[in-house]
Amino acid sequence: MTTTAVTHIASLVTNDPSLGNGTPLGLIQDAAVVIDGDRIVWTGESSKAPATDNVLDAAGRAVIPGFVDSHSHLVFAGDRTQEFNARMSGQPYRAGGIRTTVAATRAASDEELSANVARYLAEALSQGTTTFETKSGYGLTVEDEARALRVAARHTDEVTYLGAHIVSPDYADDPAGYVDLVTGPMLEACAPHARWIDVFCEQGAFDGDQARAILTAGRAKGLHPRIHANQLTYGPGVQLAVELDAASADHCTHLTDADVDALGQGDTVATLLPGAEFSTRATWPDARRLLDAGATVALSTDCNPGSSFTSSMPFCVALAVRDMGMTPDEAIWSATAGGAAALRRTDIGRITPGARADLVLLDAPSHVHLAYRPGVPLVRAVWRSGQRVV
């Protein structure tokens, strides 16, 4: 293995408060990073960088950790352009639109589904995403959910079983029977291919009792819970997430004071998905309220064909700063270290010795430019596991 130093970094975001300026971002000015194999082995001032086999001069640009996108739905076919057009023309967003994607996904081949995943991952990588989670949820039969997870596992280790996305159209008149399927034969077929189990706890999808049964069954099979919670209405999702020690409660748009307190006092990460609010013209989550309560907040794209068809973490950072009450520092932390926390990972989302060498070189002197210059392609280079991939 050879060592590589990236030097003359104007501003380095380490997400290690013991480094640099002592803030949560651990900013180091005029910095350098040394990579050995797939790991970071040194960070500090550029003038103190040790000798290495290779040197890359950042020439006064900023470096941040690779983005960690902890919530996406990439195993699908087709799109929902007509639905989006109708919504932008005044029709409300409802959970049932998922059925359109279910039909297209069932009809697609494994190769078509895998090619779609690869396409959207390439988009995300070009914008700095080096780790992503993705879910099933557009098959809703035993066979189609299991194959979706097999397809996802070709591309990432962070795979989530979401048979409980909505009640399958095949069980429209028997939701209890579908819960039995999700917690029985479907779980048996899917558990070997997933790390996580998720459920859409929402009106039009699954209520609190159903969600508890599904997540508890998954946990008994070794899958750790996460949950779609409180997106469209107030509901039991957040409280259930904290009760079951879910890694994350995702969306968190409609929260009571008790919900906020529970997230502030528990280990469950509040994952906010501003692309969904942007694409549905819905109420923005109040990130400031969560942060002030001491909750750990992550940002993610929720990339899916219905309610948030974006793979761009920089776009989500800009939305969070503009419309959700976050500072640029908080948004960058939440899109990197926050996403890592939502996946219960300590090896990613930071640039500190021992971490995986996932770095993004920005064509800007500061990470603040990601919010300051929204929509501008600022990612100049990306390293994943020590290899330059962009």
pLDDT value of position 21: 84
Q: How far apart are CA 70 and CA 24, in angstroms?
A: 20
Q: How far apart are CA 101 and CA 139, in angstroms?
A: 9
For residue 127, count other CB atoms closer than 10 A to its CB.
22
pLDDT value of position 329: 98
Between the CA of residue 278 and those of 236, 307, 308, what are the distances in Å? 24, 9, 8
Burial of 199 (0-12, 13-18, 19+ CB in 10 A): buried
pLDDT digits (tens, 9 = 90+) for 67-86: 999 999 999 999 999 888 98
Which residues of the chain have a pLDDT value below 50? none
pLDDT value of position 98: 84
Element (H, E) at 71: none
Cβ(17)–Cβ(28) below 8 Å = no
pLDDT value of position 92: 78
- 307: nearest Cα among 272, 270, 278: 278
